[in-house]
Amino acid sequence: MHIGHKRRMKRPAYRNGRCWSFGVGMLLALVAGVSHAAFRNLEGYVTEATTFYDATTEGRVQMHLRSNGQWAGYVTVSFVVAPAGTLVPLPAATARRMFALAATPGRYVQFLNAWCSAAHPDQCYAHDATIVDVSGLSATRVSIPGWAEGTLRRIQLFSDIARFGYLEFTRSDGQIRRVDFLRNPLQYPMTDFDMDITLGILVHQWAGTTPSLTFENLSAAPAAAYFVMGAGARLTAQR
Amino acid sequence: MPVQPLRVRPRLFRWTRINLGVVGQALLVACLILGEVHALHAEDVEGQVVLATTARTSTSFGRIEVRTANGSLVPITFIVEFGEVVNPMRYDTARRMIQLASAPGRQVRFTRLSCTHVPTTRCMAIDDTNVEFAGTPIPITLNGMAATLQTVSILNNQALFGHFDVTGMPSGSTRVFIVRQQLRGGPTPLSDNEFDRVLAILAQSWSGTTPALALSGVAAGLGADVMNYHHGSALYAYRP
């Protein structure tokens, strides 16, 4: 009896009813916080781009948001490059490429899975799970000689082990074709330098300066539903 | 039975013949090397970009083709690895120059390229090469003062990433240096990441999509016509 009594005295604190209620309260607060500081999909025209930085972000764009075809105010998106709260930062090279692609006033951009602050809903952040998608009307012709030809539709970049991102174009029959920028180390991927140079060409799209893009030495997927740009492939921009 | 005399070449002749062969080959190799070196000239190329490609070789990444004023087409490769008889560029400098130059239609001026005209004209962007971009002047606000951006230069340089040239300032023309290395008493330099952000914005200039720029927090330089873009300065692109 004496020993049992001592055991009861040493009962862990978490088995105490008050501790459970505290934990449940914390969980509810967390859920409430997350529901306010939400992950959002943003889309609209870039109105301003700046090199502005702080302790955890580098580069920022301001967008005029579109929602259901209506203008829906302005929002700024900063690129997270160092741990910020619960947000995982973008790798430096990915952040650099995303900013290079998006930081153009007038460009139609989507930030998928951006994180927006609860206190300041007009301040959002691109982080490791964010996808940058650039689209809009384009007159640029995309050609894969012998395989497919069409008009540029979108370019997307993300932080992923298998791909740097992809480009989509629309064939004359309306079908959509995709070129993946391969990063998968188990195959023959593009290097970071390859991707940088490829992006150096792609960032100038939607500026009216490049009427044609030609891909060579791509790998074609079965039935040519999509193509893969790996080591040895080539992109050429020409007027 | 007559004995045939043994035909033996004189020692001196044998020696001369052997050494003539060795010396001849050495001279040939030397001439080839000298010829190759002399075939490369430091040249400036100015014109409009008509083609940009990611094509790579064992020593170069990327190539652009420039149509010069006299109508000739000059291919320029960016040397990033040893293997040629020239010094390669830094990886990051090559990446930035390619990003700015890979816009067909853009007006560029490369200085100190390494060029050959044998058998055809071709140039290499190397360790010494700088590049300047220009076109329709862009309105820019410099520390709150209205001015006009004329050119942007990217340098392959230890101390500077490059510079802007603006006109319309009270001092007349102003050069804004983009600081890469801190000198005694000078401003804190930009990091590579910061310069990449600056470059991303500048890369879109002259493409009609960046109607206006603003530059804030730029420090005064040593002269009235010199300013320094440093850590803490900021560049904005916006639609007025």
pLDDT at B173: 81
Q: Which residues of A touch B56 (CB under 8 A)?
A: 194, 234
Closest-approach residue (CA) in chain A for B97: A200
Low-confidence ranges of chain A (pLDDT < 70): 1-37, 208-209
pLDDT at A1: 42
Strand partners for B64:
B52, B76
Q: Residue A124 is encoded by which pair of tokens?
A: 């959002």
Beta-carbon separation of A204 and B51 below 8 A: no
CA dist B14 and B2 (Å) reads 28
Interface check for A53 against chain B (CB to CB < 8 A): the answer is yes
pLDDT at A91: 95
Beta-carbon separation of B102 and A238 below 8 A: no
CA dist B115 and B125 (Å) reads 9
pTM above 0.90, yes or no: no
In total, the C-beta contacts within 8 angstroms joining chain A to chain B are 143
Q: Which residues of A touch B234 (CB under 8 A)?
A: 50-52
Beta-carbon separation of B52 and A47 below 8 A: no
CA dist B61 and B195 (Å) reads 21
Q: Residue B51 is encoded by which pair of tokens?
A: 């083609």
pLDDT at A3: 47
ipTM of this model? 0.82
pLDDT at B219: 85
pLDDT tens string A31-50: 444 445 689 999 999 999 99
CA distance B99 to chain A (A): 4
pLDDT at A90: 96
Q: Which residues of B touch A199 (CB under 8 A)?
A: 99
Length of chain A: 239
Q: Residue A116 is encoded by which pair of tokens?
A: 């927006």
Peptide bond into B119 cis (omega under 30): yes
CA dist B64 and B54 (Å) reads 9
CA dist B72 and B65 (Å) reads 10
Which residue bears the tokens 């997927």? A221
What is the residue-level pLDDT of chain B in tens, covering all 240 positions?
A: 666 666 655 565 555 555 666 667 777 777 666 555 557 889 999 999 999 999 999 999 999 999 999 999 999 999 999 988 889 999 999 999 999 999 998 999 999 999 999 888 999 999 999 999 988 888 999 989 999 999 999 998 889 999 999 999 887 888 999 999 887 777 889 999 999 999 999 888 776 666 789 999 988 877 778 889 999 999 999 987
Interface check for A100 against chain B (CB to CB < 8 A): the answer is yes
Beta-carbon separation of B51 and A48 below 8 A: no
